[in-house]
């Protein structure tokens, strides 16, 4: 699942469990806790106060990965 899909699904599912995400800090913590383990540690270093704060660096990392992959495939296709 790409991060944008996870963000949307998290928003939808959190409506069913409002007590788990009563505050922005609790929402951010729950959002990060449900990420892949390799992303959790990276995002926790930013100490996100909101879900948006947690999402921003993940989207940035994801975009960089996509660019790197496309550059690699372009190099391979020129041979």
Sign of CA dihedral 16, 18, 21, 24: positive
Span 36-46, average pLDDT:
91
User: What pLDDT is recorded for position 78?
Assistant: 52
Assess contact for 28 and 44: CB atoms under 8 A: no
Helix (H, G, I), strand (E, B) or coil at 55: helix
Q: Is the pLDDT of residue 12 over 90?
A: yes
- E-only strand ranges, the chain: none
Q: How many CB atoms lie within 10 A of CB 11?
A: 13
Span 11-21, average pLDDT:
94
pTM: 0.73
Q: Of 68, 52, 64, 67, which Cα lies nearest the Cα of 4?
A: 52
């Amino acid at each position: 699942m790409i991060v944008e899909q996870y963000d949307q699904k998290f928003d939808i599912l959190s409506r069913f469990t409002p007590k788990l995400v009563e505050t922005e800090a609790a929402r951010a913590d729950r959002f990060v806790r449900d990420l892949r383990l390799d992303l959790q540690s990276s995002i926790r270093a930013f100490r996100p106060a909101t879900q948006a704060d947690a999402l921003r660096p993940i989207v940035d990392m994801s975009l960089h990965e996509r660019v790197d992959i496309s550059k690699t495939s372009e190099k391979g296709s020129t041979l």
